[in-house]
A and B are shown apart, each in its own frame.
Chain A
Amino acid sequence: MVPTPYYLLLAAVLFAIGAGGVMLRRNTLVILMCVELMMNAVNLTFVAFSHELNDMTGQVFVFMIMTVAAVEAAIGLAILVELYRLTRSVNIDEFNSLKG
Chain B
Amino acid sequence: MTAIEIPALNFAALLPLFIVVGTGLLVVVLDLFIADKKSLGWLSLFGVILAAIVGNMQQGGAGFDPAFQNVSLLDGYANFFNIIFLSTAALSILVALGYLGRVGLHRGEYYALLLFATSGMMAMGMATDLMVVFIGLETMSIALYVMSALNRHSRPSGEAGIKYFLMGSFASAFLLYGMALTYGATGSTNFSDIGSVLTAGTVAPMAMLGLGLLLVGFAFKVAAVPFQWWTPDVYHGAPTAVTTFMSVGAKAAGFATLMRLLMVSFPAFAVDWQLAIAVLAVLTMTLGNVAALAQKDVKRMLAYSSIAHAGYILVGVAAATTEGIKSVLFYLLIYAFMNIGAFAVVGVLEQKEAIGTKLTEYAGLARKNPWLAMVMALFLFSLTGFPPLAGFWGKLYIFRAAVNADLTWLAVVAVINSGVAAFYYLSVIVQMYMKPAADDAPEILPSTPATRIALAVAGLAVVLIGILPASLVDMVAKGVFG
Using CB atoms and an 8 Å cutoff, list the residues of chain A in contact with chain B. Answer: 8, 15, 18-19, 22, 28, 31-32, 35, 38-39, 41-42, 45-46, 48-49, 52-53, 55, 57-58, 60-61, 64-65, 68, 71-72, 75-76, 78-80, 82-83, 86-87, 92, 95-98, 100
Beyond A38-B173, A82-B152, is A75–B165 a contact (Cβ under 8 Å)?
Answer: yes
Contacts of A82 in B (CB 8 A): 149, 152, 158, 161
Expressed in whole angstroms, the Cα–Cα distance for A31 and B158 within the complex equals 17
Minimum CB–CB distance from A42 to chain B (whole Å) comes to 4
Asked if A42 contacts B173 (CB within 8 A), the reply is yes
Is chain A's binding surface mostly helix, strand, loop or mixed? helix
Further contacts, 9 of them, CB under 8 A, given A22-B166, A38-B170, A97-B237: A19-B170, A35-B166, A46-B180, A58-B180, A61-B131, A82-B158, A83-B162, A95-B163, A100-B297
Contacts of B161 in A (CB 8 A): 79, 82-83
Minimum CB–CB distance from A87 to chain B (whole Å) comes to 7
Q: A87: nearest residue on chain B (CB-CB)?
A: B155
Asked if A97 contacts B155 (CB within 8 A), the reply is yes
Minimum CB–CB distance from A79 to chain B (whole Å) comes to 5
Minimum CB–CB distance from B245 to chain A (whole Å) comes to 17
Beyond A57-B183, A65-B176, is A98–B131 a contact (Cβ under 8 Å)?
Answer: no
Is chain B's binding surface mostly helix, strand, loop or mixed? helix
Beyond A72-B142, A100-B297, is A79–B180 a contact (Cβ under 8 Å)?
Answer: no
Expressed in whole angstroms, the Cα–Cα distance for A83 and B180 within the complex equals 34
Asked if A35 contacts B173 (CB within 8 A), the reply is yes
Minimum CB–CB distance from B227 to chain A (whole Å) comes to 13
Expressed in whole angstroms, the Cα–Cα distance for A64 and B178 within the complex equals 16
Beyond A95-B162, A98-B159, is A75–B146 a contact (Cβ under 8 Å)?
Answer: yes
Expressed in whole angstroms, the Cα–Cα distance for A65 and B90 within the complex equals 31
Minimum CB–CB distance from B475 to chain A (whole Å) comes to 34
Q: B151: nearest residue on chain A (CB-CB)?
A: A82
Beyond A22-B166, A98-B160, is A42–B180 a contact (Cβ under 8 Å)?
Answer: yes
